Structures are given as C-alpha cells and as structure tokens.
Amino acid sequence: MSTSLDPERERPPQAGPNRAAADRLRLLLARGTTPVLVRSPPGAGKTGLVAEAAAGSASAGERVCAVTATNNQAGELATRTAGTDPDVQVVLLLGHTAPIPDTAAAAVADGLVMVTRTISHVPPGPVVVASSSAKWMCHPRTDQPPYDLQILEEAYMQPWHATFPLANLARRHLAVGDPGQTAPFAATGQRRWRGQPLSPLTPAAEALERLHPHAPVILLDTSLRLPADTCDVLQPLYPDLPFRGLAQTGQRVLISARRPGPAGSRFLALISGRSIARLDLPGSGGPLDPDLCRYAGRLATELTDAGLTAVDTGTAGPPRPATIAVVCARTRQVAAVRSAVTGRAASAVVVDTANRLQGLEYDVVLAVDPLAGHNRLGPFVLEAGRLSVMLSRHHNACGLLTRPEVALALARHVPTSDRVLGHDPDAEHQGRAAHAAVRGLLHP
C-alpha cells in the first residue's frame, strides 16, 4: 500500500470544463494534502471528478473508501469509477437486505462492480469501496486506518454528526459537495444546540471548513447540466461560487411529436428559446395549493402524451425521449400531483419531494413553488437549498409553477423564527432574499 500517488502514472489531462480544478485536485492528492474540499455548482460533474480521483488513487496502489448518503449514490459512484478505469477493482458495499441500486445494476451484471454485504469480504490491496455512511458505521474499529483516502460525497447534504465517526477509516480526506443543496435535517428538535459553534446537523463540509480554515478549497465553475440562462437565475443562491453553464441559452430544445393540450402548449411556448421560466397561474389555491399541484400533474400528463424529444443542438448527441419530473416541497403535494398524473404518464413521470430528487437529473422538470399555498411563510418553505434543488434538476427545461399572490406574501414577510447571535446564519432571512432574487430573474 503506497502512501502517495505517483504523478507520472497519471493519465494525461484532458481538455474540457473544470479541467483546471481536476488537475489541481490530482496534484493535491498526489502530494498527500489532507483534508481537501471541492465546492461545486449543480451538474458540474462532481461524481465524475470523484470517480476520477478514486480511480487514480486506486491505480496508484491505494485503498479508497467512498462515503455517500444513499445506496443509489454509492451505486452511481461505483459505476462511474469502474467506467473511468476498468482495471481498478471497485466494490459496492450494501446492507444485508438492501437491493442492488438501479444506478449500479448494469455494472454489476457486467462484472465491473463487485457487490458485497459483509465488510470482512472486501478484498485486500488497492480497491475503491463505495457505501452509504450508515453501512460504514458498521465497520469495526481498527488500530490503523484500513484505507488511505476517504472520499465524502455530497458533503453539504450529509450531517457532520454522521461523518466524524467515520473519519478514522482513512488517513486522508476529500470532501465534495454542492453548497446550494438542502441542509441536513432531523425530525426531532435541534434547539438545544443552537448557538454552539457546531450543531450535529451542521453540513459536514461546513464543519470541515470551520475546523480547517487553511484547507485547500477547489471551486468548479462550469455546470455541464444546466444551460447558461438557468445558471444566471441560480447564481443568487451561490453567492460564494460564481459559475456558468456549458450549454448556451436556447441550445437545448424540446420537440413534440404531437400537439399537446392547452397547458402543455402554453408551457412549450413559454419555454421556447430559454431553459427556465415562471408559469403564473391566476387565483389562490388555499393551504398547500392542491389546485396548483393538480395543474402540475395535468401538465406533466400532457407533455408525456405529446411525446417530447430532448435535443441538444450544440453537440452531436442523438435526440432522446425526454424524461419528465415534477418536484414539490411537501409529501402531501406529491400525493396531489400523483392523483392528477394519468395514463402512460403515471409510470413515466417521476413525482417526488425536493429532498428525494437531490442528485438526480431529468430533461424537463416542473417545480411547484414551495411558497404557493402559504399565507405565512416559514423557514421550511423559504429554505434556499430546497429552491436550488428544485430549479437545478433539468437538462432542457424547467418551469416554476406559482401564483401571483406569492410575490405579495414574500414582500409582506417578516422573519419570525428564533435568531441566535454568534454562529447560526439566519436561514429564514437568507431564504427570503434568495426567493425574491430568483423570482425577480425569472420571466413570467
């Protein structure tokens, strides 16, 4: 087991967006720097970068453990790592009853990724082992760290209390994350720790930055997924991370095989020539706005029935049937949307909450405004991370379905949640400002 990477063995760097950041990361890892933090906007190729780092370390003779929040993420990372360098041994570590995630099913079937459910069955020698933080918690204590490099995926989504007990699995640490994601949350109260420098629900990446203020931070500045105009709209949600979109505005389009219904036609006309728009529905929907949710369901059904094809005019990639998702803030809104998705769309359209759609991407995303159906806005709906997730899942088109009354509620809102001087940022105030800024940039 070597202790550092040999840069001579590295593959020659490729040209492309975020290449400079990837090169810098490789250099830092080769020097044995720890910890290292990578901060990224949505869709900037974090997983690819991590897969490259993991494969590079393993091919240099190191043992790498990757800590993810979910099995799906672990599966995707394992697949991407195996795809980056087929000579590297990649292991997906799962719980005893957990099914093999869809993200890794093909790679497992092809023999590129080995699945094990027992930690002691992980092979010795250079290897990349991907698993969820819950499974890694079952790793027995050892005198010496059993791995050389630990990669923490989605480090802004994972709470610090779930990651610090795992850190002794490796000698060096790399944390990668998107600072605009929804913050970790708990069902039970966390008032007890408010005002302390670190609450157990502080995102792991933030904790790392506070405890190691001189640790190198690598910034990715190009989103591969989001077109340029979407990046402009989302920029207020990332005040410390300027970024741009690789695809130009209007480069990615939707072509319908059949004429959609009135809602679908209105949406396609609105989104023409851009990738993100605000769709204002007149009237008021009452608590949680079930009418707006049902409208989103009907719109998704019409778009599915229209047979949309996603086309990227800037690349030579073939057109493909568009994937459609509807994202809401609350589970009850999800139920209302699902009740209105009918026919073929019932199985084709993904409807879920923002929390569950984090890390996933679709060609068309319909976002039900989290502020719709709330006379009094609270910290939950105002959270900037939730809005960021909702508006950053798409390749081609995103529509924010909202009501005109939301602007009034936002203008009248006065933050009322507890403020603790010292350490906590005022999430409610920041969320209000972020919502107002994004609405201002979105054209109805």
Residues that bind other proteins in the complex, under the rule CB under 8 A:
34-35, 97, 99, 101-102, 137-138, 140-141, 145, 160-161, 163-168, 173, 186-190, 192-193, 196, 198-201, 204, 207-208, 211-212, 331-332, 334-339, 346-347
CB 443 within 8 A of CB 401: no
Q: Cβ of residue 141: shortest distance to other proteins, in angstroms?
A: 5
Token readout for 404 is: 């005109």
Nearer to other proteins, 14 or 347 (CB): 347
Give min distance, CB of 86 to other proteins, in A.
27
Task: Measure the CA–CA gap between 358 and 181, rounded to whole angstroms.
Answer: 8
**Least distance in Å: CB of 91 to other proteins?**
20
Grouping H, G, I as helix, E, B as strand and the rest as coil, residue 401 is: strand
The rounded distance, in Å, linking the Cα atoms of 328 and 76 is 24
Contacts 24+ apart (CB under 8 A), 188-194: 191/418, 194/418, 194/420, 194/424
Structure tokens at 420: 């603790």
Give the number of other Cβ atoms within 10 Å of residue 198's Cβ: 15
Rounded CA Rg of the chain: 22
Q: CB 77 → other proteins: shortest distance, Å? A: 18
Nearer CB in complex with other proteins: 186/255: 186
**Tokens encoding 391:** 């508006």
Q: Residue 3 or 313: which CB sits closer to other proteins?
A: 3
Smallest distance from the beta carbon of 45 to other proteins, in angstroms? 25
CA separation for the pair 10, 73 (Å, rounded): 26
d(Cα 221, Cα 18) in Å, to the nearest integer?
Answer: 6
Our CA dihedral for 175, 179, 182, 187, rounded to 10 degrees, sits at: 50
Q: Provide the minimum distance between the beta carbon of 422 and other proteins in the complex, in angstroms, as a whole number.
A: 13
CB of 397 to other proteins, least distance (A): 24
What number of residues does the chain have? 444
Q: Which is nearer to other proteins, 88 or 104 (CB)?
A: 104
Closer residue to other proteins (CB): 296 or 434: 296
- 3-class SS at 282? coil
Order of strands, sheet of 147-152, starting from the edge strand that comes earlier in the sequence: 113-116, 90-93, 127-132, 63-68, 147-152, 170-177, 36-39, 217-219
- Provide the minimum distance between the beta carbon of 38 and other proteins in the complex, in angstroms, as a whole number: 15
Nearest approach in angstroms of CB 336 to other proteins is 8
Interacting residues of 265 by C-beta distance below 8 A, sequence separation 6+: 259
DSSP string, 295-336: HHHHHHHHHHHTTEEEEETTS-PPPEEPPEEEEESSHHHHHH
Query: How near is the Cβ of 225 to other proteins at its closest, in Å?
Result: 24
Residue 273, sorted as left (phi over 0), alpha (psi -120 to 50) or beta, turns out to be left
Do the Cβ atoms of 326 and 285 come closer than 8 Å?
no
> Closest separation between CB of residue 70 and other proteins, Å?
11
Could you tell me how far CA 64 lies from the centroid of its own chain?
Answer: 22
